[in-house]
Structure 1
């Protein structure tokens, strides 16, 4: 799988490098193809893509709702009703007041967990007088009640206390782009997703905050830590259970490609607060005013329409005031930003040669998500 990933990445990089160089023409295209590029009237790209001019109305239509602070009543109820249930490997300490012969003393050199009652592989413990007691999956209160009831046959009105001396049966795993990947035990204090991330030292700079995966019973749930940490959206928090896996992916797949008539063509990461078209152009030094066609700033995005290859958003920045729209256009992972020097009439031909790259980038994004 790693070899496949490396091969796919290399192939796409070669495709990108072969498709564009400063000057707006296509490197590696045959002379016959270049002649065809001048025959604009014979080519119609509209059947393969959705062409959309960036306007205030379009921005309002594609604008995603920003997360806001909210409560999580389901989580609050779970925390309120939380009761730890013991399991195989846990150690119990059982005290019978006024009957020291039934209480194993910890002693000066013995820890309570060494002196306690280990829950064996059958989920049971052995206790004097009453024999084996099945405790797996039960709370300490339930265990106390059963031992009290059974021991009262031999002791009048026994006063019993049951505690967990060692929590060994339940755990959750924190992996990926955190500072200290760890196995975190679950005990009598409930553990939430927020607690687990903090116990792992927090998130690294190269983490994808918006795509944290919680795996439970072989089912994946995608959670947004940006909404949780930055916006206070508690609906993204979860009460963790035994064998839950929290994976914080790297932001390798959250990137965009800026190409064409810009000063420094580059691959740019999308940081946790997002990346706008204006920021992307600014990060590559802007477009080349000597060679770029300001009316030809394009964003190519894989289309959700199965009958189309891509959605192509066009920004006409020949009027500088239109650049304000670029500050409101938020890019998505694997978007391709292209600034052309060609007249718009020729762009149909240019875009037709870029479409395989867009499709390949979308396939690579799906492959990285699967990995």
Structure 2
């Protein structure tokens, strides 16, 4: 027989207050109090524990911490990661199609065929030219030119190739001149994919297209600018920025390089809100970013009846560069080089609201608010009170 059944049987037999109290205790023993997550103290005790081979660090949010985290965000901007440079000019690549024209001053010695009117061909004052068909640069990076031979053109500018041709013809032709023109660009392209009107490869010209030029060539973003982010990948390096910031800050409108990949994303960020908040949910936010204060506002703020104002936490896998060097030096990193960090904000201090206004929420952050210390006691007393009234009602029914 269970404790509840035994107490109920005793209450039937004795019908005395003692038996009723015993029934209440039995029911209380069968009841457990739930919780939305760890208490403030439990989160604090997580400091220096291990997670994914890294050691968890608890960091109290203040203006200095916010400044370091903000500085790390600035270091991940396009201008800092990729920099900017002068246009590379017309560089010939493998697969490009080039047009080469060679001219010889009169009297022509090497090139006796003219591309001008035949009636002028006999005129010793008219320069003669060689008609060379357009050529595609081979896999070896070379093209073949009559009386010159094979010439390496890949990786060189048109001016460099012109000088090479003239150098080789000197002594063979009379006053040779060469004009090299890039007809079809197949080697210098940027790939644009994602939320754009046309996913395509955009050729780069000698003037050096910038990021916004390439996006415009692909038809622009299909989504609102304020909710769009742009990722630039160059080799093994990638960086992400809001499109709105690139438009507003001209220094982020960097010149692109061949083989860069530009990916346009629509509202790819979100954070998760848990604990003593009005709304537990995964909350998406715009590419332009979100502060902690805005994040709290979007989930309806803290629960007045439950929340511990000293227990607002942000769980994040943080880059070591965003932390105090002294903290980063004593932390063990995860396999991907991150440090598990719990940022703590004490909202009982009025100045913390300014910190919340400046601390940026990142993608995949977990915002957790613990219960106030008195909530568990309040829940226990409420449960005990409900059980007492239920027991009295049962006792009255037995009389």
Scaled to the shorter chain, the TM-score interval is 0.5 to 0.7
Q: 1:301 aligns with which of 308, 315, 325?
A: 315
- Structure 2: runs of 5+ lacking an equivalent: 1-28, 48-56, 106-110, 118-131, 319-330, 334-338, 378-399
Q: 1:311 aligns with which of 336, 342, 350?
A: 342
The offset of 1:182, in angstroms, is 1.5
The offset of 1:240, in angstroms, is 0.3
Distance in 2 separating the partners of 1:303 and 1:176: 27
1:286 alignment partner, SS class: coil
8 Å Cα contact 1:88/1:136 also seen in 2: no
Distance in 1 separating the partners of 2:168 and 2:74: 55
Q: Tell me, yes or no, if structure 1 residue 335 matches structure 2 residue 365.
A: yes
RMSD: 4.5
8 Å Cα contact 1:83/1:188 also seen in 2: yes
Residue 257 of structure 2: aligned partner: 240
Residue 27 of structure 1: aligned partner: none
Aligned residues: 295
Q: Tell me, yes or no, if structure 1 residue 160 matches structure 2 residue 178.
A: yes
1:337 alignment partner, SS class: strand
Q: 1:222 aligns with which of 239, 245, 248?
A: 239
Q: 1:326 aligns with which of 332, 338, 356?
A: 356
- Judged with a 3 Å threshold, the aligned counterparts in structure 2 of structure 1 residues 237 and 294 are, in CA distance, closer, same or farther, namely same
Q: Tell me, yes or no, if structure 1 residue 280 matches structure 2 residue 298.
A: no
- Judged with a 3 Å threshold, the aligned counterparts in structure 2 of structure 1 residues 265 and 104 are, in CA distance, closer, same or farther, namely farther
1:140-179 matched pairs, under 5 angstroms: 140-153=158-171, 155-179=173-197
Give 1 or 2 for the bigger CA radius of gyration.
2
1:195 alignment partner, SS class: helix
- Judged with a 3 Å threshold, the aligned counterparts in structure 2 of structure 1 residues 179 and 76 are, in CA distance, closer, same or farther, namely same
- Judged with a 3 Å threshold, the aligned counterparts in structure 2 of structure 1 residues 346 and 93 are, in CA distance, closer, same or farther, namely farther
1:40-55 matched pairs, under 5 angstroms: 45-49=43-47, 54=61
> Which stretch has the larger CA shift, 167-176 or 114-123?
114-123
1:144 alignment partner, SS class: helix
The offset of 1:183, in angstroms, is 0.8
- Structure 1: runs of 5+ lacking an equivalent: 1-30, 106-113, 348-371
Residues 236-267 of structure 1 show CA distances to partners (whole Å, capped at 9, x for unaligned) of 734403x3333445553x32112334443332
Distance in 1 separating the partners of 2:159 and 2:290: 53
Q: 1:256 aligns with which of 250, 262, 271?
A: 271
1:178-217 matched pairs, under 5 angstroms: 178-203=196-221, 204-205=223-224, 206-209=227-230, 212-216=231-235
Report the structure, 1 or 2, having the larger strand content: 2
- Judged with a 3 Å threshold, the aligned counterparts in structure 2 of structure 1 residues 332 and 299 are, in CA distance, closer, same or farther, namely farther
2:358 alignment partner, SS class: coil
Q: Tell me, yes or no, if structure 1 residue 292 matches structure 2 residue 306.
A: yes
Residues 169-206 of structure 1 show CA distances to partners (whole Å, capped at 9, x for unaligned) of 33222233444322122343323444333433344455
Distance in 1 separating the partners of 2:62 and 2:148: 79
- Judged with a 3 Å threshold, the aligned counterparts in structure 2 of structure 1 residues 103 and 66 are, in CA distance, closer, same or farther, namely same
